[in-house]
C-alpha cells in the first residue's frame, strides 16, 4: 500500500535501522544521512520515513511531509554552515534516480556548476 514500508527498499531498511547509515538529523517524519558515495563535501540525503517512489508522488499524497523534507534541507545546510547549496530530486532513471524511495540530495561545500550535467 502507498506509504507503507517496502520489503525490497534500501531506504525503508535504513529508516527501520536494518541497514546502518550516518544519520545527521531525524524528525518525526524524516531522516537525513550522509550519502555513501559523496559528490561534494556535504552530500546528505533527506528522506521521508514513509515510502513513496519519488518526490512528486510524495507531494501528491503527503504535502505535509514534502514540506518537512524541504525544511530539513535548510537545517542540514545550517548544521554544515553552508551559505549556498543545491537541493536535487532525481526523478526517473533518465535523470539518474536509482533508489525508488523519495529523497532530496543536499549538496554543498564546493563550487557548483550551473546548469548541472
Distance CA 73, CA 45 (A): 9
Nearer to ligand 5GP, 31 or 83 (CB): 31
Does residue 103 bind Zn ion (CB under 5 A)?
Answer: no
Return phi, psi of residue 61, to 5°: -85, -40
Tell me which stretch binds ligand 5GP (CB under 6 A): 53-61, 63-71, 72-80, 93-101. Answer: 93-101
Does residue 99 bind ligand 5GP (CB under 6 A)?
Answer: yes
Distance CA 27, CA 48 (A): 9
Residue 103 designated active-site: yes
In whole angstroms, how far apart are CA 69 and each of 39, 46, 114?
A: 20, 6, 23
Residue carrying C-alpha cell 548544521: 79
Query: Which of 101, 103, 107, 108 touches Zn ion (CB under 5 A)?
Result: 101
Under rule CB under 6 A, which residues in 19-78 are in contact with ligand 5GP?
19, 21, 33-37, 45
Does residue 1 bind ligand 5GP (CB under 6 A)?
Answer: no
10 binds, among Zn ion, ligand 5GP, none (CB under 5 to 8 A by kind): ligand 5GP
For the CB of residue 32, give the shortest distance to ligand 5GP in the complex, in Å.
10
3-class SS letters over 8-31: CCHHHHHHHCCCCCCEEEECCCEE
- Provide the annotated active-site residues: 103
Amino acid at each position: 500500500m502507498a506509504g507503507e514500508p517496502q520489503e525490497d527498499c534500501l531506504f525503508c531498511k535504513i529508516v527501520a535501522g536494518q541497514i546502518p547509515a550516518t544519520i545527521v538529523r531525524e524528525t518525526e517524519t524524516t531522516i537525513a544521512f550522509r550519502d555513501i558515495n559523496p559528490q561534494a563535501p556535504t552530500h546528505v540525503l533527506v528522506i521521508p520515513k514513509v515510502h513513496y517512489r519519488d518526490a512528486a508522488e510524495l507531494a501528491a499524497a503527503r504535502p505535509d511531509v514534502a514540506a518537512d523534507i524541504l525544511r530539513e534541507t535548510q537545517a542540514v545546510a545550517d548544521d554544515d554552515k553552508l551559505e549556498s547549496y543545491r537541493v536535487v530530486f532525481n526523478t526517473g532513471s533518465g535523470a539518474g534516480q536509482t533508489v525508488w524511495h523519495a529523497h532530496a540530495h543536499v549538496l554543498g561545500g564546493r563550487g557548483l556548476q550551473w546548469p548541472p550535467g
